[in-house]
Chain A
């Protein structure tokens, strides 16, 4: 696999629809035809800069965002799920939006146990505000997040009876990985996380039940508290490679090389764990645009559905979209365990593939309550006047212009004789359910 050296377009590796599509798919769920054209015109460096920096949020997003307090108070997890999905679709900062899903999977917390949609939304706000920021502040915020406190039983932990759940998962799943800590480290760190309760929807520190004695974690001793353990974790040599591997698995390849992991770990450590800087290096790298990386990951349900909706400018019914994602195997706010979703090949089985096919049908049928595309708008956007134009548009938009010979032939035969609108629906549907589109 190639290195983190910046990708420079060349005749052998031109900046074309394939690479622009790849970047926008991985870093922005997917893109409209106009966004692909803009990326092609701007080049990779400017496009990555725009993805990292984001753009001003549109009114449609801000209107939805303003519903936060009302949703938190009314406490419907279905509405909360729908609200998140709609904002993923409408966000003008899709990379940050994508990272909120990444962090939700990383710090997997389920409403099943937390039993409070308002707290889950509050946790989502933590992920959003730290989406591309420093990993350290994020880890500190998560350690004091009410939903996480309830999820990993920190609220049951007190001086003399520390609960080890959070400390164990912090080391194993959130920051270091197995093999980089001892049971003793867990027991000592658990003492540092005592004192926390959830009161009226907020984390509340009670010094009376905090164990303020001396602890020894990773060979260092002190009267450590929550922030101290987080600092020790960040100083641990295994932390940066652990996070680098997860980022590479998400954005580059499901099995990144050790060299690449080490290189990105170095970037993270030098940038004080800035996620934005790590992603800037990663998204501009030769490794990212390499043949090994292209279409090497299976899309998660969120990537699949949100990507399709963004590319097609579809109008979604929020709670129904959330329910459709659940059928595809990704019930937001309800990851199956503290490890998050297994992902990869586990995303696809006969049931979840059927759910993807149904979702594609709902999106492209256009008259369903679950979602609808603006066919007239797409016809105008692509200047489509006949069935051939419709096929080309769908293949370019969703499959980087490379549907494969068999699919292209089958779809062209199917739409022959159809009017442009019908042909467009058919072609989009065929592209969305094609094997290639299931790959990010």
Chain B
């Protein structure tokens, strides 16, 4: 290899024990040749990578050779990266300039897709779309500026770990001679797919295939890797660690990584035969993952502007998992009642897909489980039809933290439970029902209570307001359940007496265990009778109050709803909100059969109110100082503060099950143009 001092290629990267070493070497016109032909993870202390470093001075241009007596150095990876970066920044400006000559836009986008180079036998794949373009837009866009100007970013910059990672990234780009953004853009490309194929002999085959829009950078990257790892020596591919297939040379990085670059494709796999399969699919029109109809269906279901999407061949997955696949009867009775519909849909599914959409208003993940036929009649109880439009659905509490809503035909599920739940789960449910029956006095939990319960069970939560100096620690939000009643007028009275009995029993049991007992009371609020219980007033000098002062349980029947809450104020908030319902004119939107909503501002308020115990936990468990713990919580709270709310909904559609999780951001610019 001939190297001129005034023209240094990025591939002639430098590494070594010190900047001084390298400076001297450069001054004399040599290269400081780092051969990492045998990088290996030290299994004892896997933070370290061992490299055989051979330092060789060359007086003039000439071939660099391996020094057989190379000194063995142990290098910590982050420090190594930082070291390479510093040297590159100081000594290799030419290399950086050379990398910038590769203009990303110079190469036309390819019509080929990464899934064209993955065999149809793959059972799962994740594809990132237009990663390079999105990265470019992100880098140059207002969001990046916003991030760099944000308090969060400034806070992160004070963190040594963040800076170490940043320096490490710079080091990697220095070693390859390619700007880090350019490097990531090349690897993300037009589209990149990660796929998995079961392998009878043990670990599955894995692929990461990228169709890049920057083949020239990919080639340079490949050359650098080959040079760095000793896969090419003196211009010749090492025949022991490379092989040519269909005119394409594949290389072995280590015993679990093989790669090839051909045309505008970068393929990385964990087995040589898997790499060969990819290469042989070049120019093929059948046998590719992209030729599979379910795969195409999955793609057609993804949002047009999805950043990433995934496909799973559930049929094949079932075959692979055999008896580990979901059992017919679930072992957990409660999970069966709540999540049985989702589980049953998964059992019937033949294909699953998901997509990730990052847009200006938030980040959402959509899941879809395709089922072969309609939902069996026996499973309809999991997806009870929406109730008639009711103003209750619009009920919103002040200081609302969020809610969970599940719509089921509870009584039907209860009476048919032996068909869905294992013997162990049935025993759990029976024990629970017995306890509830005891608490409810004369009411049988199944036959009396559930038979009168409507379908839509909502659990709402809102923040409590504590008087100054009288806050318990931790400060928990209030929460409560709202359940429609079939026959509120008559059944409501029985429930009221049952709740009086329940609070009495709870109080008695607490007293028997040396726990504070409850004082029972009945209060009328806006015409509603509240069955209340509260703990005796704390001593005047008690601060902070013990955590049981978060609770003053209460129950009431309000209109046609049974409400039981962790505090009396929660019930009053519900009654206040219900009072204005009739004046609301908008029709109530139907919720999904399962729905979760968390409001981030209130979540942040809860965390802030409990910062002291949260700091204590970090200080005790991680040995951090108060300032360090505070810093980490600040970052989390700022992240929470950036979001508006988190919503999850799950519902049955005609051909399957659809679920969406969305994190709504307060305000963020769009990250990418919509896909045409």
Contact = CB atoms under 8 A, between A and B. Distances in A.
Interface of A: 59-60, 63-64, 67, 69-71, 73-75, 79, 82-83, 86, 115, 118, 150, 155, 198-202, 315-320, 367
Nearest to B515: A115
Interface residues of B, number: 29
Given A73-B472, A74-B473, A201 B619 contact: no
Given A70-B613, A200-B542, A83 B623 contact: no
Q: Which 4 A-B pairs have the closest CB atoms?
A: A73-B473, A318-B620, A67-B616, A70-B612
Interface stretch (B129-137, B162-170, B185-193, B543-551): B543-551
B620 A86 contact: yes
Contacts of B613: 70-71, 73-74
Contact of A317 (B47, B474, B536, B621): B621
A73 B474 contact: yes
Contacts of A367: 45, 47
Contact of B622 (A67, A201, A317): A317
Interface in B602-623: 612-613, 615-617, 619-623
Interface of B: 45, 47, 472-474, 513-514, 516, 536, 538-539, 542-547, 612-613, 615-617, 619-623, 625-626
Nearest to A64: B619
A59 B625 CA distance: 9
Contacts of B536: 200
Contact of B621 (A73, A74, A75, A318): A318
Contact of A79 (B473, B616, B623, B625): B616
B539, B616, B619 pick with most chain A CB within 10 angstroms: B616
B623 A74 contact: no
Given A73-B472, A73-B474, A317 B623 contact: yes
A60 B625 contact: yes
A221 B45 CA distance: 72
A326 to B, nearest CB: 16
Given A64-B620, A69-B544, A201-B546, 19 more contacts: A59-B625, A60-B625, A63-B626, A64-B619, A67-B615, A69-B473, A70-B544, A70-B613, A71-B616, A73-B473, A74-B613, A75-B547, A83-B616, A199-B539, A200-B516, A200-B536, A316-B623, A318-B621, A319-B620
Given A115-B514, A150-B514, A73 B539 contact: no
A343 B626 CA distance: 36
A70 B616 contact: yes
A67 B516 CA distance: 24
B623 A67 contact: no
Contacts of A315: 623
A394 B545 CA distance: 48
A75 B472 CA distance: 12
A180 B676 CA distance: 95
Contacts of A201: 542, 546
Nearest to A365: B45
B619 A67 contact: yes
Contact of A83 (B538, B620, B622): B620
Contacts of A155: 514
15 contacts: A59-B625, A60-B625, A64-B620, A67-B616, A67-B620, A70-B544, A73-B472, A75-B546, A86-B623, A115-B514, A198-B514, A201-B542, A202-B539, A315-B623, A319-B621
A63 B625 contact: yes
B538 A74 contact: no
A60, A67, A73 pick with most chain B CB within 10 angstroms: A73
A319 B619 CA distance: 11
A61 B576 CA distance: 49
Nearest to B611: A70
A198 B516 CA distance: 10
A155 B511 CA distance: 13
Nearest to B544: A73
Given A60-B625, A315-B623, A318-B621, A73 B616 contact: no
B555 to A, nearest CB: 26
Contacts of B622: 317
Contacts of B619: 63-64, 67
Contacts of A71: 613, 616
Contacts of B626: 63
Contacts of B538: 200
Contacts of B625: 59-60, 63
A419 to B, nearest CB: 9
A57 B621 CA distance: 21
A409 to B, nearest CB: 25
Contacts of A73: 472-474, 544-547, 613
B621 A82 contact: yes
